[in-house]
Amino acid sequence: MKFLLVEDNQELAEAVIGRMQLDGHVIDHADKIQDAIAFSETGEYDLILLDIMLPDGDGRDFLKQHRAARRNTPVIVLTARSQVSDRIGVLDLGADDYVTKPFDHAELQARCRAVLRRKAGAAQSELRMGDVRFDPVAGRLTVKDEVIDLRNRELRLLELLFNAPGQIFPKQKLVDRLFSYEEDVSENAVEVYIARLRKHLEPSELKITTHRGLGYRLDNV
């Protein structure tokens, strides 16, 4: 998954990024509202982690603008305000959840998973297609009862394809979803991960097909 973290505390931001990267997520980081707006208007994210008190304004203004633009990206607010009225306020503005600072990173990770499951409309983490079972939380792929542990980017790439079977993903879109803006990579990197997933799926009914000039698609054949 690709997240946008909007947080001006550099130490906290680095800690959150480090933990999320261990889970295989890609993180773009903005420390100002102005940068957060630029990221959200040009990138595609699965989740936004939003601080309230920022150097150039109030994160709630970003949230209001985000929802007014009919963007449905889930937002978890990171707030030092513990009053019930403050928490109700951000939920009423369109936040999907909130975490009160200081927070335990395991709790933040759990809340991220819960919000993403709600967005997908799935109460269970395991996904099934044909003779393949895929658990993106555990990072486990099961093909004909053989369990395969996936590397982080293999995991996130398969998650993208698995959640949209039949949809063609252009290479550049996959680059944008799998890597942060700070990483200098080419579309060839996507070909490497596609090749690895194809090898894992070889014994199954699922195939990743190439559509020349368009991109890749996951099919149940």
Q: Is the pLDDT of residue 123 over 50?
A: no
Q: Are residues 191 and 97 in the same domain?
A: no
Task: Show which of 120, 148, 163 is a domain's final residue.
Answer: 120
Q: Are residues 25 and 70 in the same domain?
A: yes
Residue 129: strand pairing partners = 132
209 Cα distance to chain centroid: 24
Give 110's pLDDT tier (boundaries 50, 70, 90). confident
Q: Is the pLDDT of residue 182 over 90?
A: no
Average pLDDT over residues 92-108: 90
Q: Are residues 77 and 170 in the same domain?
A: no
Q: Are residues 82 and 140 in the same domain?
A: no
Q: Is the pLDDT of residue 11 over 50?
A: yes
Residue 79: strand pairing partners = 100
The SS3 assignment for 151 reads: coil
Residues 159 and 1 sit within 8 Å (Cβ to Cβ): yes
Q: Are residues 6 and 105 in the same domain?
A: yes
Q: What CATH number is attached to the domain comprising 177?
A: 1.10.10.10
Work out the number of other CB atoms within 10 angstroms of the CB of residue 220. 13
Residue 12 has what pLDDT?
Answer: 95
Residue 82 has what pLDDT?
Answer: 67
Q: Are residues 101 and 151 in the same domain?
A: no
Q: Which of 39, 41, 55, 98 is nearest to 74 (CA)?
A: 98
Residue 137 has what pLDDT?
Answer: 72
Q: Is the pLDDT of residue 124 over 60?
A: no
Residue 117 has what pLDDT?
Answer: 79
Q: How far apart are CA 80 and CA 65, in angstroms?
A: 22
Q: Is the pLDDT of residue 63 over 80?
A: yes
Q: Structure tokens of 161?
A: 């394809």
Q: Is the pLDDT of residue 23 over 50?
A: yes
Q: Are residues 9 and 50 in the same domain?
A: yes
Average pLDDT over residues 9-25: 91
Q: What is the pLDDT of residues 147-159, one digit of tens each?
A: 998 888 898 899 8
More confident residue, 88 or 49: 49
Q: Are residues 113 and 18 in the same domain?
A: yes
Q: What CATH number is attached to the domain comprising 71?
A: 3.40.50.2300
Residues 150 and 158 sit within 8 Å (Cβ to Cβ): yes
Q: Are residues 152 and 96 in the same domain?
A: no
DSSP designation for 178: H
CB-based burial of residue 42 (10 Å sphere; 0-12 exposed, 13-18 middle, 19+ buried)?
Answer: exposed
CB-based burial of residue 72 (10 Å sphere; 0-12 exposed, 13-18 middle, 19+ buried)?
Answer: exposed
Q: Are residues 69 and 19 in the same domain?
A: yes
Q: 17-21, 91-95, 134-138: which has the minimum mean pLDDT?
A: 134-138
Task: Show which of 98, 120, 142 is a domain's final residue.
Answer: 120
Q: How far apart are CA 69 and CA 62, in angstroms?
A: 11
Q: Are residues 72 and 170 in the same domain?
A: no
Q: Helices 84-92 and 59-68 meet at what angle, rounded to 10?
A: 30
More confident residue, 72 or 124: 72
State how beta strands 97-100 and 53-54 pair. Answer: unpaired
Q: Are residues 22 and 66 in the same domain?
A: yes
Task: Show which of 120, 137, 159 is a domain's final residue.
Answer: 120
Mean per-residue pLDDT over the chain, rounded: 89
Report how many domains make up the chain: 2
Q: What is the pLDDT of residues 198-209, one digit of tens each?
A: 999 999 999 999
Give the domain extent around 56: 2-120
Q: Which of 207, 190, 189 is nearest to 198 (CA)?
A: 207
